[in-house]
Amino acid sequence: MKLLFGIGAICLFCSIPLPAQQQEKENLEIYKVPRTLLAGEGLNSIKQKDPERTVYQKKIYDGNELAMYIIAIGTGITNEFKSFPLEEFIFWMNGKAKIEPVGEEPFEIQTGDYFVQAKGFNGKWNFIDNGGLHLELSIIAKNRPNSTIKSPITRALVIGRDMISGVSQVTNDSEIVYRGAELNVNVIHSKSMKFENVEHEKAFHVLSGVMTITNRISNSEQDLYPGDFFVIPQGFQGDWTSDSLQDLRVVEVYRASNKG
């Protein structure tokens, strides 16, 4: 059975009820993903034609420009893709897969990896059986460009572990990781940032350090710690600051400007 969208899901655009607190867009508050969801709890079972397949999924954020999902799927299977229909940022939270792009060398992705699945990808994903469930967090862009616009890569782009670990040479507050057809990815190092009517929704994952985000409109504060995923909405006005002894490193994902 072939999956329609996403590496591990079959129904990324199903209408699934969203947590009420995440859609308070009029308040322009940040949305923080609950840790229970990141642990793979509270997902919805997705009925499969093949009874041996196990798939769970939950849409955890549905904004103006980005949608975010948690997906869990039984391992020990193979999925084949012909011209993957969208660009997808994925944080691989559990499991291992061997990727076999058509005409290119195979490679592996394991727990803790961050990568972008290419729009137009052709090849196979072999999920290695670990006795449990594969688990991923997926981010996709909404209002994507037309299907003729492909990613600038032909296979998944895996973010280097030196960059994630902070040992790469950094000369700026932001390292460009990927500029794609639908998504852009950076690693941010700055301990202080100001947000003035944010143009694009931005999803973040805290890698290192402790930070506080202040909303200037509501005068509210939110503390974020390593492992936290959160979204800053369009129009947000506020600041993030960090007094942490550790360097602050944050992965940033947002919609590419290319509309096709």
The pLDDT, as a whole number, for residue 5 is 38
Q: Which residues, in sequence order, are CB contacts of 41 under 8 Å at separation 6+?
A: none
pLDDT-derived band of residue 169, with 50, 70 and 90 as boundaries?
low
The pLDDT, as a whole number, for residue 46 is 87
Q: Do 216 and 79 form a contact (C-beta atoms < 8 A)?
A: no
Over residues 52-70, the mean pLDDT reads 91
State the sign of the Cα–Cα–Cα–Cα dihedral 23, 135, 140, 115. Answer: positive
Q: Does the structure show a pLDDT above 90 at 26?
A: no
Nearest to 53 by CA among 97, 126, 1, 7: 1
Q: Does the structure show a pLDDT above 60 at 15?
A: no
Q: Does the structure show a pLDDT above 50 at 166?
A: yes
Whole-number Å distance between alpha carbons of 2 and 211: 41
Q: Which of 3-17, 130-144, 166-180 has the lowest mean pLDDT?
A: 3-17
**Higher pLDDT, residue 165 or 65:** 65
The pLDDT, as a whole number, for residue 53 is 74
pLDDT tens for residues 179-227? 999 999 999 988 999 999 899 999 999 999 999 999 999 999 999 999 9
Whole-number Å distance between alpha carbons of 160 and 102: 22
Q: Does the structure show a pLDDT above 60 at 8?
A: no
Q: Does the structure show a pLDDT above 50 at 10?
A: no
Q: Do 182 and 255 form a contact (C-beta atoms < 8 A)?
A: yes
Instruction: Give me the amino acid identity at 227.
Output: G
Q: Does the structure show a pLDDT above 60 at 81?
A: yes
* Single pTM value for the model: 0.86
- As a whole number, the mean pLDDT across the chain is 85
Torsion of Cα atoms, 202 then 205 then 211 then 213, to 10°: 30
pLDDT tens for residues 94-144? 999 999 999 999 999 999 999 999 999 999 998 888 878 899 999 999 987
The pLDDT, as a whole number, for residue 165 is 85
Q: Does the structure show a pLDDT above 80 at 240?
A: yes
Q: Which of 29-33, 79-83, 170-174, 178-182 has the lowest mean pLDDT?
A: 170-174
pLDDT-derived band of residue 64, with 50, 70 and 90 as boundaries?
very high
The pLDDT, as a whole number, for residue 209 is 93
Nearest to 229 by CA among 73, 69, 55: 69
**Pairing outcome for strands 55-62 and 66-74:** antiparallel
